[in-house]
Chains A and B, each alone.
Chain A
Amino acid sequence: MEIIISNSNGVPIYEQITEQIKVKIVSNELKENELLPSIRTLAKDLRCSVITTKNAYEELVKEGYVKNVPSKGFYVAKINKELVLEEQLNKIEELMDQAVVIAKMNNINKKTLNEMLNILYEEK
């Protein structure tokens, strides 16, 4: 499993771990019922504190991506793909809404906005 941590992008490390594991679960790189590394092993391998990896796993459990089997470890949970997709769409809508608000505030028209979106989409 590959996890890439940036110490300088301002995103808390536990969030970076949570997000990257989520992506791996959604993309099926991590399969249902797969055992994840223990909190301590992950901390050691990522060179971060134990509390950080603990927070990351707790967040994943809370959001239903991972289940904690006491005294055994953390396993990838069965996820509801539609629900996940819906969640992502909501997130996109929220961010686009912000973009539209800023555009309207500054009299930027729809065409420019569309162009920007096209460029960004192609670049990735």
Chain B
Amino acid sequence: MENVLEIKNLCKKYDNFELKNITFNLPKGMIMGFIGENGAGKTTTIKAILDIIKSYSGEIKIFGLDNRKDDKDIKEDIGVVLDDMFFPEILTPNDISNTMKGIYKNWDSKMFNDYLKEFSLLPNKQIKTFSKGMRKKLEIATALSHHPKLLILDEPTSGLDPVARAEVIDIFQSFIEKDDCSILLSSHITTDLEHIADYIIFINNGEIVLSKTTNELLDKYGIVKCTEKEFKTINKNDYVKYKKTKYEYEVLVENKKDFKAKYNISVIDKITLDDLMVLMIKGEE
């Protein structure tokens, strides 16, 4: 499978934080979800991909091209939503459309207006009158309206209510329905990712701790809940992490089927990405 995005050994050092050897590939036509705590390095990675932060080491290739040398060609085909809004507040959506026409060769005013309608955003209202959710929708509409082949989205659903999130997720899925489009998106709202992401990359303290297909994670991983006595019978190699609560042990296992076959412990729950994150970060080895 062809990759639209290849990241190899990306490192970046700050005084109090370090990205360590971030390496992953995003295959064409797929959605990759990027999860991790606040400050884990998601946004830093995304900014490195977009060449917004400088002086990092490692190799980043987008559409097979170097992201620094060929950034003009690449940017034409990328749609971006960043966590912080970058439009001046006094502009209106119409102003944005006019500005973008000058920036992107493929800017599609009609498409942009259709999205505005779909999101019920008025084209001639100043952005400062927009709510947080409306601003997010405006950014998403902007990111999509120049026919990009790759969407890079940092927290695109934050600040949106469940209905708006469903709307936006639908739009993302329609976007990749066209064969050659792909999405990298970071989100705290992991249920969005559970549904639509093909791959999950989990980053913690600047390092990738898990990189798997979503199905592998959700169908295979499990949480065993047991008593201390039962916990003591479990071999150290058979679990990833565990957490002791007041009444029980929560144990993260990589393959619930194998575990069930080996141990006589009855409660094995399906995992959610939230559970996984908490246990991976807060659990003990």
* Interface of chain A, main secondary structure: helix
How big is the A interface, by class? Answer: 10 to 19
Q: How far is the CB of B83 from chain A (nearest CB, A)?
A: 24
Most buried by B among A8, A43, A49: A49
Q: How far is the CB of B219 from chain A (nearest CB, A)?
A: 4
Please tell me if the beta carbons of A49 and B195 are within 8 angstroms of each other in the complex.
yes
Per the 8 Å Cβ criterion, residues 155-200 of B in contact with A are 169-170, 173-174, 176-177, 179, 195-199
Bound-state Cα–Cα, A10 to B214, Å: 15
Bound-state Cα–Cα, A7 to B198, Å: 16
Please tell me if the beta carbons of B196 and A47 are within 8 angstroms of each other in the complex.
yes
* Interface of chain B, main secondary structure: helix
Please tell me if the beta carbons of B215 and A43 are within 8 angstroms of each other in the complex.
no
Please tell me if the beta carbons of B197 and A49 are within 8 angstroms of each other in the complex.
yes
Determine whether A51 belongs to the interface, using a CB cutoff of 8 Å to chain B: yes
How big is the B interface, by class? Answer: 20 to 34
Determine whether A14 belongs to the interface, using a CB cutoff of 8 Å to chain B: yes
Q: Which residue of B lies closest to A54 (CB)?
A: B198
Contact of B215 among A10, A12, A38, A47 (CB under 8 A): A12
Please tell me if the beta carbons of A44 and B198 are within 8 angstroms of each other in the complex.
no
| 0/1 interface trace, chain A 1-41, chain B, CB 8 Å (1 if under) | 00000001010111000000000000000000000001011
Please tell me if the beta carbons of B169 and A10 are within 8 angstroms of each other in the complex.
no
Contact of A50 among B29, B170, B174 (CB under 8 A): B29
Contact of A51 among B179, B198, B270 (CB under 8 A): B198
Please tell me if the beta carbons of A47 and B198 are within 8 angstroms of each other in the complex.
no
Q: Which residue of A lies closest to B216 (CB)?
A: A51
Bound-state Cα–Cα, A44 to B197, Å: 11
Contact of A44 among B174, B214, B219 (CB under 8 A): B174
Q: How far is the CB of A71 from chain B (nearest CB, A)?
A: 11
Interface residues of B (CB under 8 A from A): 29-31, 169-170, 173-174, 176-177, 179, 195-199, 213-215, 218-219, 270
